[in-house]
Amino acid sequence: MEQRLGVIGLVVKGRENICDALNAALSDYGHMIVGRMGIPYRERGVLVITLIVDGNTDELGALSGKLGSLPGVTTKVALTKAGK
């Protein structure tokens, strides 16, 4: 299956309630995460996380689905073909 390079954006509301589950999910798929940045947006009461990912579409879909199924988490995915 073809590898894809991309970005997964997360907006997290109520992070205190799900931080353990969120970190566990990120750890489970850590082999695909190239980089991670998280910034609290206090004025809106959310946490914004960006993940740079590299994996096949099935793996990336599973990661995005798992993250998006957490309460208070919204995800968006942008993928491109990774040229080598």
- Rounded CA-CA distance 77/6 in Å is 7
Residue 35: what pLDDT? Answer: 97
Residue 16: what pLDDT? Answer: 81
Each residue of 7-63: pLDDT tens digit?
999 999 987 888 899 999 999 999 999 999 999 999 999 999 999 999 999 999 999
Look up the pTM and report it.
0.90
Phi, psi of 23 (to 5 degrees): -65, -35
Which residue do the tokens 């993250």 mark?
A: 67
Average pLDDT over residues 2-11: 94
Residue 83: what pLDDT? Answer: 60
Pick the CATH number of 3-81 from 3.10.20.30, 3.40.50.920, 3.40.50.300, 3.30.70.1150: 3.30.70.1150
Average pLDDT over residues 72-84: 86
